[in-house]
Amino acid sequence: MKISQRAQRIEPFYVMEIAKAAADMARQVADSASPMIFLNIGEPDFTAPLRVQQAANRAIAHGHTQYTPALGLPQLRERISAWYATRFGADVAPSRIVITAGASAALQLACLALIEAGDEILMPDPSYPCNRHFVSAAEGTSVLIPTTAQERFQLTREKVEAAWNDKTRGVLLASPSNPTGTSIAPEELRRIHEFIHSRGGITLIDEIYLGLSYEAHFGHSALAMPGELGQSVISINSFSKYFSMTGWRLGWLVVPEALTPVIERIAQNLFICASTVAQHAALACFEPDSLLAYERRRAEFKARRDYFIPELNRLGLRVPVMPDGAFYAYADCTSAAAKLGVSGSWDFAYELMRRAHLAVTPGRDFGQAAPAQFVRFSTANSMAQLRQAVARLESVLA
């Protein structure tokens, strides 16, 4: 059977390869004194709040399970619009919001609507691997631009300008970012978007971790930029991270007004609509008591960050930039790997799995800029588990 060139361009998702190995190890040590601790997957350990679960049950009980419009439930689009206004001071009309089957579907729709074969999309290196594969699936080419800790592992206007050429269509950014948990400073994001807008390009920004911002300076949506700048940016978001609904597969896309019918036409053909039950459940995310619960969880994620990052630094797993959002730590493992007699993040991850029964993600997935130097820890786990992970790291690295 002949496999398409498109499919062959999609690289393995090494995060999942590590996850499979960790699951195998977990079965072997399940009854031991040190069962596996998983700090490799970026999935909140919280589930949807009770009110959200009850809303899903009511939708099923009342028969609200048929197709919705391809753009999503009108009332859900309105509630997201209101959330942008109250949380981020952003004026986002409901007519610009498209409900999707997760952020993945949102990015796929945006890429299919805007990218032609051969178009280049600039992205920071390191960055989330699936984002570049969506570009590739749309016949575009991802151009990874190495970034530094001094740049918070984010692009700058100067780097975007230097890389821009006749094939460049735009940029795909993430703020806060996976794997680094760092955001673009609002003033720098504006400078980048002003340049791109002047060239007639597109600014796509992954904001799925925006609700989990911990620093006031960085917790701003790109959609809050003034005037035409805010109206022309394209934002991808999700109910998975801040709203703790990973397996519900629900997200959304915010686009310029003129692009909505284009996205609608593609969505009608590819997806019909996002999960109806998940959409009805998501309405309850914006109830006052649900929002209070989410804010308590955000505080807990921050407390985990504030404990775990200094401990990694103390143990020689240096985190060069303090994450200002999400639940990741991108740590330099060079010194720690040498202590274990291995070289590079891939072998270090497997050695930790073997010696400490601790699963982390090596940098191989996230780009070409020093992937062997870094591992990603996820702090989407309980404080008790994080303390145990630190104790095990200390034991094997002492």
pLDDT tens track for 350-376: 999 999 999 999 999 899 989 999 999
Buried b (16+ CB within 10 A) or exposed e, 234-261: bbbbbbbbbbbbbebbbbbbbbeeebbe
pLDDT per residue of the chain (398 residues) written in tens, 0 to 9: 988 888 887 777 777 788 888 888 889 888 888 999 999 988 999 999 999 999 999 999 999 999 999 999 999 999 999 999 999 999 999 999 999 999 999 999 999 999 999 999 999 999 999 999 999 999 999 999 999 999 999 999 999 999 999 999 999 999 999 999 999 999 999 999 999 999 999 999 999 999 999 999 999 999 999 999 999 999 999 999 999 999 999 999 999 999 999 999 999 999 999 999 999 999 999 999 999 999 999 999 999 999 999 999 999 999 999 999 999 999 999 999 999 999 999 999 999 999 999 999 999 989 998 999 999 999 999 999 999 999 999 999 98
Cβ proximity of 223 and 230 under 8 Å? yes
What does pTM read for this prediction?
0.95
Q: Which residues pair with 92 in a beta bridge?
A: none
Q: Please state, in angstroms and rounded to a whole number, the distance separating the CA atoms of residues 111 and 201.
A: 13
Q: How many residues does the chain have?
A: 398
E runs forming strands in 233-378: 234-238, 251-254, 328-332, 358-359, 361-362, 374-378
pLDDT tens track for 189-236: 999 999 999 999 999 999 999 999 999 999 999 999 999 999 999 999
**151 φ, ψ (degrees, to nearest 5):** -95, 10
